[in-house]
Structure 1
Amino acid sequence: MSKVNAPLNAFPSKGKKRHRFLKRWESPIEGYMFISLWLIGIAFLTVWPFFQSIYFSLTKYSLLASPKWIGLQNYKTIIMNDDLFRQSLKVTINFVLFTVPLKMIFALFVAMLLNRNIKGISAYRTMIYFPSLIGTSMAVSILWKNIFGTEGLFNQLLSVFGIHGTSWLSNPATSLPTIGLLDVWQFGSSMVIFLAGLKQISAELYEASSIDGASKPRQFISITLPMISPVILFNMVMQTIGSFQTFTQAFIITKGGPMNSTYMYAMYLYQRAFGRFEMGYASALAWILLVIIGLFTMLIFASTRYWVHYESETGGAK
């Protein structure tokens, strides 16, 4: 058969060649090759340490000797005989209960102020978010220590009004709230999330409620809060998890004092692990902290049926 008289399907077209080429690359092997570095990283930096910490929590391991299996002895000692565990847990829970609500209220208040169409609003948002960019660094913690020290800037400001300020960081009654204010001051991330949620609320809802005679407080309670309740849930969970892991502020500013009034759980875990090199004991502390955070998160989610509202597919509240 000559080339001229050959049927059209005798010669594969470019489209068929391209189809076979793409089909060959649809194999999952190539996909796994592309993400192989990520898989290696997640396996050796997350999965392996995860199971290794479980094993170490059931051993007596000091980094200076091989792990010795002791079963649940670490957990029994922590729960039954460790006074510092109970003190650090009490301090941390008080810290969470103080900072999380105050931080979220302040973040929502600022987000509502910034949710306006005024000149230069982008610059205001950047300036207000700036403290969160700094983070809980050592420099910020040292600055906070100098501000609230006995001769610090805050007491100097009070002296102008004839008020003799106390030693805020040396007094067990005021040391924890003072450190908590540093955490509240870094409200930028929650504020940005709240701001995004506020922008999703339709202006027609406020207009309709105004026609019906609803005041601004009533609009806030009946429209704003229900509409951003999923955002409130997200911020609450994330801030609770972060507050339970607070370390830098207390470690730099007060070293856990005075009288262990700022002795955070993460600080106790750190000192057990890298101060006494009791890695097995520290691993058990870490897993107890994980369970505690999980319980608090479960309580938050269990309460959502009473205050979190989701928008249904038809556009109504659910």
Structure 2
Amino acid sequence: MSANLAMTELLPLPKSDVKIPRLGFGVYRSPKNQCVESCLNAFKAGYRHIDTAQFYANEEEVGEALRKSGIPRNEVFVTTKIMSPGGSPQATYEKVLASVDKIGGKDGYVDLFLIHSSSSGPAGRKELWQALERLLEEGKTRSIGVSNYGVKHIEEMKSYAKVWPPHVNQIELHPWCQQRVIVDYCKKHGIVVEAYSPLVRNYKANDPTLVGLAQKYNKTTAQILVRYALQKEWVPLPKSDNPSRIAANANVYDFDISKDDMAILDGLDQGDAGAIVEAVANE
């Protein structure tokens, strides 16, 4: 199942010729003065997938890191997100266009643009999706998707979406919050599932089960969590501003978590109660 995983591995997006790297680097709350350096450290460690958002207030820094890295633009996969509509379809469109400009300049593009939250209600969600569809048609983004969407939100899209299913759904995922209903739904429809907070923001660093497995495999607890997400066929987005941890979180390709140990980690699930950010609403 997982022995052939590699850092360079890509997953195809549904009904698209775009492929997404299986491991991403998150820059949530990475301060402006730190973000460029962290992205460059991530590139050095082999990451080719950066995940930002309007809400993180560091899109320009991600763009700067891209240019400074010297890596050809088509070899890096960049995601950003919009949290809420702009007040009218045109204003919402201009809001997403502004992100593309910040990251890639006037003639630039992003690889994936997500609706960050389901919280803007049916009309807001529709307006956001239609702005992303327009961006996709114009080649300003190569793929579009959603974040924190449950089954009901993705089903609702069928009434207006020209692009369905969304290419990606990015949700909180780790052993304590496995969100199995939405994960199974996405799998069934070919939607790629991205895992944010895969390291549980280090809150579980002393969990006895996790610590025991880290000792068994001679890995850090964070490495166990990233590897777990990869073996679940999620796309994990570990975040760090610490150069050695950035590198360590990508150093997860020289071991396999056994089937029995995966089952032990699966057994830690607390359902919605295990979420530290948000469990989606499915119905």
TM above 0.5, yes or no, is no
Larger strand share, 1 or 2: 2
Larger helix share, 1 or 2: 1
TM, length-normalised to structure 2: 0.25
Q: Which structure has the larger Rg? A: 1
